[in-house]
Amino acid sequence: MGSSKKLFHCAGCKTVMYCSRECQKGDWKEHKEICAIKKRENARWAAVEATPGGSGLPDGITMFELEARYQKWEWAHRSLVQGVITHGLDLITDPLNATRKILHIIMRPVDRSVHQDSARRYFEFVDAVVIDCQDALHFRDPWPHIVENLHQKQALSLRAGQGLCAALVITAEPMAERTLMAAGLSKQNLIGAGFKRPDPTWRTWLKHCMNTGDKYPGGLNGCLRHSPNGRLNAMTRLIRGLRPVSIGKKRRDKRNGLHSASLRGR
């Protein structure tokens, strides 16, 4: 796709973007279910925002504006996303962890007194946990779908000789769940991107970067600094947002943030 080609939003969910009608039609089988979920979510929040007092979101913004903030946050922290996927799932020790585990980050939107109009600080850290795929299959929707989608993407990527895929699920209520995927994962690619050894302190610097707006200090940043015009290298370009899906309300464990048991269906 050329750089001058304009993208357009799906008319139903108003979230996913396509480069052509043909591309949209080709994706419809996979997108149909989630499009319906997002469409209902949009209608629900439009009704809430139309009532006195609105949605109670930071800075008096709408859900659509919160969505825009999330997109800016994701782009601003793209190297952090790759770094935390790599170290959170310990892909350096064993890239096959990408087939067995999913990283889950919980965050919340903050107001201008905190973020000071910095896209890197639109959301603050709440918790980050590593979830076993076998456990996630027994969680409430959409977790089984997320695991199934991850394994389908991995099979396609391996058949195409492009390496493994790894998933990061982001919860930032009241938005729907977001799933990001990093592809092209192999020890050779990770080392080439500057990831040479495991980092068990990943949760500490994840919280620091999210809450201060600092850039990710790890290996990938070195690659980015040497990339022409600050563009992402081939590996990090493969980080892409998957379809947003709704997971509903979750209980929080006050001692450890999110506990995986709270996601199990009743």
* Per-residue tokens: 147: 């695991």
User: Beta strands 101-109 and 123-132: pairing type?
Assistant: antiparallel
* pLDDT reported for residue 63: 82
Q: How far is CA 254 from the centre of its chain?
A: 24
Q: Same domain, yes or no, for 230 and 123?
A: yes
* pLDDT reported for residue 50: 62
Q: Same domain, yes or no, for 77 and 141?
A: yes
Per DSSP, the three-state class of 169 is strand
Phi and psi angles of residue 18, each rounded to the nearest 5 degrees, phi first? -130, 155
Q: Same domain, yes or no, for 126 and 42?
A: no
| pLDDT tens over the chain, length 266 residues | 444 567 788 888 877 888 888 888 888 888 887 788 777 777 766 666 665 555 568 888 888 888 899 999 999 998 899 899 999 999 999 999 999 999 999 999 999 999 999 999 999 999 999 999 999 999 988 899 999 999 999 998 888 888 889 999 999 988 878 899 888 887 788 877 788 888 899 999 999 999 999 988 765 433 322 222 222 333 333 333 333 333 333 333 333 333 333 344 43
In single-letter form, the type of residue at position 229 comes to: N
DSSP tag of 215: P
* pLDDT reported for residue 171: 92
> Do residues 133 and 145 lie in contact, with contact meaning Cβ atoms separated by under 8 Å?
no
> Residue 27: which domain range?
1-54
Burial class from Cβ neighbours inside 10 Å (0-12, 13-18, 19+) for residue 174 reads middle
> Do residues 261 and 109 lie in contact, with contact meaning Cβ atoms separated by under 8 Å?
no
Q: Same domain, yes or no, for 164 and 123?
A: yes
* pLDDT reported for residue 51: 56
Q: Same domain, yes or no, for 48 and 90?
A: no
Q: Same domain, yes or no, for 121 and 9?
A: no
Number of domain units in the chain: 2
